[in-house]
Structure 1
């Protein structure tokens, strides 16, 4: 019944635009800095209706241009930008479209901390092909990392292991400043935990990407935008955090800007202990009869030291072009101790054996990246040329000693090196006042080697040697074209992208070669209709793909457990998805509602499949990725923001989705290490019809003494799959914040996972095994943070850009 009620609310929201009326007028112009004549991006235009006192707002784009839609009437017009003197343009009676021309603002450094912020904006900005979440308003991420930031973003979830999902789908493409980055690293989600939250300005959630974006990521794209100062002079912030379990972190965001150049940097060092645990209970079957039972309890004791720093210089060649160079470096040292207590029982539950397996692992990761960007705003009409060059190297050195019952039995090492090169060129050509053509090319080249060795206590290989070495190459060449235009209230963006992929995986110790080459076309359609100032409708279509990553393909097995392992599959093919998204945004009084219906059809779905293998130490539970059959997924999402009074801000997100996966037959082979014989078996995965949902609620209350209290509650519902089910997860975070030193500093107390219940719990049921598994990546975290800001406001707030249907800030 609750599901139908929410659906009715969604349908009602689609009809509220009928209650609005009025003749629409467009006010346009350009804002520049008085001395340098440079355009001011994100300058705020505030229009106050002299009769109704209703406020309409807008912001300038990268070229300083603005275009604001309002109903006919008389408005007091004001222009603001932090660090600059506000300018009042008097009253303007708008009966037809009007251009205010070029508006100059002068710096006002003496009153930098006294700029009045008039327009409140919601935490989400709506664009034609994306939503933008501004990080600065969410204090639960203070002292946290990029994973914590993403877990606060509507539509996004980060599970107990750090895996990121968008609308319940984990195949998400993560970009930094619009490009692949060494900040994400080889291990993806692990690297995100080492990027300080304070270095992030905003996150773009792109569920229907246009053709300018990579086709990778069937769920969509998350683009993390890092902070870069926009105020002339020296400014920035520093943050100090301590916590329990042990956490010591210091980070800074520093910026120095003049008329000719802009120097920016993000630096951070952290020491963190990350205790975790897991429990597994296996019942192994033979022809439906219990063959044996086992339990496995694991305790993780992690220590991590991380330093990361980025340094960039943007030099303004002239008033239209600039060149930016950036260097990034990260050094991450970790020590992990995994204590594994395993007990094996006979069918009558009598104990057969018990042993303690301890893995002591050291890990050293070094990532470096060099980037060069050239941007030329060729003219004032929006013609633009952008060229990006990027080179990065990643190296992970992992060494592990494994003991069984305090006796050293195994020495492991894995050396992984990756070299990545990227070249990208984008050209934007305006066609008239409200249309533009965009063309681009991108080459993304990766070479990776991984040498995994397993040795006994004496450094000699085992008779059944699981060692593995691979040489992996993935070259992607892409070309795209897209055309966008705005006709009165209707906007559209049509694109086509072609990507050629060349993947080679050579297993060096066996000579096995997996060679895959394919060229695919990816059309995109993004449509928008703006009913009035507060209501707009969007419709998007995109074809996407999921390429298997190198660790999906690498056939080596994990060694942390002798009875519960994961291994790669070199025969994986890419999965393809056609995605449709219908969105509606409305604002009624103090309530903003974003709603969407979506549908995805996927082929050759990539999913992990579990099975049991018989080995010399008994039954082993093995997980491996396979290409399954087709899947249909559809759902709806609601996000609301409600500010009933000045001291209270409330927001909520609800997402419900249903999916159907076809039945699938698969055959696998393995060598029984006890007998030496090859075992081949055929299994059937049944058809799956399942659904799930998640909800998130945020409240921010200002208490007496101007103490801000924020509560975030999240629940992810249970879900079934072809081989079992997953239980729901409930998480609560609390934070208290107080500004001090005339708002130049803040103190934040943050409790993450208040009830210590962020655990993944799931069941597996096959013909061979029934299991229950519980995993907690990290336990409750309490953090106290102090942030000091100099020559900048606590937050730079800009009004919501209703009706801005540009795909990436290009102004149509």
Structure 2
């Protein structure tokens, strides 16, 4: 009953605000009412507590608000006498009657008591808002998304507006893969981030922060923005948790558990999971080759069938210690171990100039992989008072081993490739937040990141002899030191946030086999600015600017040759320089009773942008030219676009949200290289292209309380400097049903219903034209069963310690 009352109060609050917006502003000035809500038992702020003010003489004149992460609220009311109600789940309500408000009023700090009679019976059926809009980021709560039950983090990200994941697991934001991915505010140091995201189970995720234009408090890395994945960490007292079992076709199954035990001073949390996945995929590349006079030389069709199996274990355990009422220390250990096998078969069909069949060959790549990652994190929060004055210190140590071996056999050759990568990383970070007066806040901090990667790569011939020009040993060391400060304040309807970050980078790229040592040192200032104007209680407009940097890493800089195909190869470039981006964004948000509309226009100007180029090497295999794909610093890229997100709830049982992104990309630059015959080749790579992306998601409650979710995604065609990428469409669906008095949930989902998620592209070179298709994962069916013990579905956590989800996230005041 108490939950129903709270929902009714919120409903009347929204109706009152809607009525106010429709009738226009009154003839007299509004008055601001402020205050703070805390838990009486431990003086901790209560986020999302509801404050309702009802005018005694005009019942339609309802105002109010919801507290922020510091427990603070403010509301605008017309002068009059009000009845005030303060509500928070599992706490006793407070009612203030007959409060005469004629001038700016502070209700002070209001302490709520536990309502013991409600603790054992509360179940909130309404879900938390899908998205929270903050000044410098959007926070998407994904815990109840049926579409990702039994899935992975990659599946979660692929359901987030503005974010997309391609068939190979690469993540992009607003159409760009130039982004930084964080987990709990810290970089993921996995050697292969795409594979790491596919191994982490979806049920370990609490929410995802999308930061398209980061402020100075965040790393400068990520030219197009940052994705911060927040993992679950229970806060409910006592012993509670969730168990999830899943299975699917193609053969996929997993078992995971999130368990939590909380006492007065200690909170033990853990996540453990095992999954085994089989991904079936494939593709083809059909090429036509030309003579110097542009006449047809011959044709080659490549058909590829791929099966990847992965077995993964991940475990995370930690404890949060309330050292003192205002001091919290959290330590956690994370361990991941993944093994896998890849069976990749390529059949080559050869044709002459008139397309008459001349013969066939094959190439079989049978590879085994094993990776092990262990990391330790420590986080200390010291609150100097209850007004946001605090110091946060973070430390991280990690080590990642990634080994792989492939045996490549073919009609005329045999090779064995060995790859061993060891990456070590240490990070220390300190952040200080100081509120200054009402609505103002100063922040400053330091971050040091120190990494070391050693990569040994060998290609062996039929006699087991190392092939020198295809093998190498890479040593990569990266040390980054950063300082930042920012100041935010609120004045009338304007909110401001200005910051400056300085980063000093020292990188060593050493090829040990040939004593090729390279050092790259640079330091940069990264300013940021955010200005928001509150048009009304339901709408505001925001403009922002930041300078960003993207450092080349991983496979981009590793000169090891990807040898899975002997005519289409990939090779990294250790001489890549970082790219710098200036980002501008103007956003607008409007809320109605059933609709939330959020839109933005953006512009990005990048120099030394990374781009992949395909170039003939000058070599041939059975008369077929060998084409190498390699990243380069192209020159300059300018991108401008328009994006909107629409959330619509036409009925209580139906919710629809959609996202649309349209952008134009213009690149200018050329690429010069010398082929194996000593010829200097110059490629003009100027290009301008328009493309768009759209996603729609619908969730409907059917009879018998069965939830149905359906989503569809479309990527438009895009022209590239050397061809074009064709459009792509896919659909997913899911059904779920709560069982055993809502203690359990059974969910069934189908990924890629139409089996249409295929990357298709054309490439046009001087001596070759190719059409390619690639499908990393075919249609999948998955069934999952979730059981919750001592924990109600969607239960609102209470008595929470001050948040620090994003590592150094001091929320802007107001």
- Same-fold status (TM-score > 0.5): yes
Task: Indicate the residue corresponding to 1:430 in structure 2.
Answer: 435
Task: Indicate the residue corresponding to 1:5 in structure 2.
Answer: none
Task: Indicate the residue corresponding to 1:228 in structure 2.
Answer: 233
Aligned pair in 2 of structure 1 residues 32, 504: CA closer, same or farther (>3 Å)? same
Per the TM alignment, residue 39 of structure 1 is displaced from its structure 2 partner at its CA by 0.6
Q: What is the TM-score with the length of structure 2 in the denominator?
A: 0.91
3-state SS in 2 of match to 1:433: coil
Distance 2:45 2:338 in 1: 38
Structure 2 residue 452 is matched with structure 1 residue 447:
yes
Query: Residues 629-668 of structure 1 correspond to what in structure 2 (within 5 A)?
Result: 629-662=635-668, 664-668=669-673
Per the TM alignment, residue 532 of structure 1 is displaced from its structure 2 partner at its CA by 1.9
Distance 1:750 1:85 in 2: 40
Query: Residues 263-274 of structure 1 correspond to what in structure 2 (within 5 A)?
Result: 263-274=268-279
3-state SS in 2 of match to 1:214: coil
Aligned pair in 2 of structure 1 residues 395, 120: CA closer, same or farther (>3 Å)? closer
Distance 1:499 1:328 in 2: 28
Residue deviations 1:453-495, cap 9 Å, x none?
1112332224x64111101011111110101101121110000
Per the TM alignment, residue 690 of structure 1 is displaced from its structure 2 partner at its CA by 1.0
Alpha carbons 1:123, 1:137 under 8 Å: kept: no
Aligned pair in 2 of structure 1 residues 59, 251: CA closer, same or farther (>3 Å)? farther
Task: Indicate the residue corresponding to 1:738 in structure 2.
Answer: 737
Aligned pair in 2 of structure 1 residues 686, 186: CA closer, same or farther (>3 Å)? closer
Of the three residues 594, 598, 602, the one matched with 1:590 is 594
3-state SS in 2 of match to 1:274: strand
Aligned pair in 2 of structure 1 residues 316, 681: CA closer, same or farther (>3 Å)? same
Distance 1:708 1:605 in 2: 45
The count of aligned residue pairs is: 776
Per the TM alignment, residue 78 of structure 1 is displaced from its structure 2 partner at its CA by 4.2
Per the TM alignment, residue 115 of structure 1 is displaced from its structure 2 partner at its CA by 3.1
Alpha carbons 1:412, 1:453 under 8 Å: kept: yes
Per the TM alignment, residue 30 of structure 1 is displaced from its structure 2 partner at its CA by 3.2
Structure 2 residue 503 is matched with structure 1 residue 499:
yes
Of the three residues 466, 470, 475, the one matched with 1:466 is 470
Alpha carbons 2:135, 2:812 under 8 Å: kept: no
Task: Indicate the residue corresponding to 2:480 in structure 1.
Answer: 476
Aligned pair in 2 of structure 1 residues 736, 293: CA closer, same or farther (>3 Å)? same
Structure 2 residue 356 is matched with structure 1 residue 350:
yes
Distance 2:809 2:590 in 1: 20
Distance 1:375 1:727 in 2: 49
Task: Indicate the residue corresponding to 2:813 in structure 1.
Answer: 811
Structure 2 residue 616 is matched with structure 1 residue 609:
no
3-state SS in 2 of match to 1:498: strand
Distance 1:75 1:163 in 2: 55
3-state SS in 1 of match to 2:147: helix
Distance 2:641 2:497 in 1: 24
Residue deviations 1:591-648, cap 9 Å, x none?
1100111111111110101112232523112110011121111111111111111111
Distance 1:434 1:201 in 2: 29
Q: RMSD across aligned C-alpha pairs, in angstroms?
A: 2.2
Per the TM alignment, residue 86 of structure 1 is displaced from its structure 2 partner at its CA by 4.7
Task: Indicate the residue corresponding to 1:216 in structure 2.
Answer: 221
More moved, 97-106 vs 382-391: 97-106
Alpha carbons 2:670, 2:686 under 8 Å: kept: no
Aligned pair in 2 of structure 1 residues 48, 653: CA closer, same or farther (>3 Å)? farther
Distance 1:600 1:609 in 2: 22
Per the TM alignment, residue 255 of structure 1 is displaced from its structure 2 partner at its CA by 1.3
Residue deviations 1:180-224, cap 9 Å, x none?
134xx1101110011111111111110110000001111100111
Per the TM alignment, residue 55 of structure 1 is displaced from its structure 2 partner at its CA by 6.8
Distance 1:411 1:92 in 2: 81
Query: Residues 503-522 of structure 1 correspond to what in structure 2 (within 5 A)?
Result: 503-522=507-526
Per the TM alignment, residue 785 of structure 1 is displaced from its structure 2 partner at its CA by 0.9
Task: Indicate the residue corresponding to 1:10 in structure 2.
Answer: none
Structure 2 residue 796 is matched with structure 1 residue 791:
no
Aligned pair in 2 of structure 1 residues 120, 471: CA closer, same or farther (>3 Å)? closer
Task: Indicate the residue corresponding to 2:14 in structure 1.
Answer: none
Distance 2:89 2:520 in 1: 52
Task: Indicate the residue corresponding to 2:149 in structure 1.
Answer: 142
Q: What is the TM-score with the length of structure 1 in the denominator?
A: 0.92
Distance 1:272 1:24 in 2: 59
Distance 1:359 1:173 in 2: 32
Per the TM alignment, residue 142 of structure 1 is displaced from its structure 2 partner at its CA by 1.0
Aligned pair in 2 of structure 1 residues 273, 598: CA closer, same or farther (>3 Å)? same
Structure 2 residue 329 is matched with structure 1 residue 330:
no
Alpha carbons 2:50, 2:88 under 8 Å: kept: no
Structure 2 residue 687 is matched with structure 1 residue 682:
no
Residue deviations 1:53-89, cap 9 Å, x none?
857431341x4x2123333366654444455445555
Residue deviations 1:496-524, cap 9 Å, x none?
00111111111111212221110111100
Structure 2 residue 558 is matched with structure 1 residue 554:
yes
Task: Indicate the residue corresponding to 2:16 in structure 1.
Answer: none
Per the TM alignment, residue 378 of structure 1 is displaced from its structure 2 partner at its CA by 1.1
Alpha carbons 2:527, 2:547 under 8 Å: kept: yes
